[in-house]
């Protein structure tokens, strides 16, 4: 299944995530399974695609 990383388009917008028990989508972004629901949210401007957060490396 195709996945995409998305986040709410506005910081004050609460977008329910049906894949996670309808809890609010994280404002930092989440990886979700691309579905008709997320396509509608993208088309309506409720969410935007986002890049993955930078990986932190532990150096000693």
Q: Give one DSSP letter per residue of 25-55, joined into a string.
A: PPTT-EEEE--HHHHHHHHHTSEEE-PPPPP
pLDDT digits 0-9 by tens, 9-56: 999 999 999 999 999 999 999 999 999 999 999 999 999 999 877 677
- Given a cut of 90, is residue 4 above it in pLDDT? yes
pTM of the model: 0.81
Helices and strands (H and E) in the chain: how many: 1, 5
């Amino acid at each position: 299944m195709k996945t995409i990383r998305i986040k709410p388009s506005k910081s004050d917008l609460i977008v329910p995530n049906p894949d996670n028990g309808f809890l609010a989508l994280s404002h930092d972004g989440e990886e979700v399974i691309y579905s008709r629901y997320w396509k509608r949210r993208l088309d309506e401007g409720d969410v935007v695609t986002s890049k993955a957060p930078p990986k932190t490396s532990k150096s000693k």
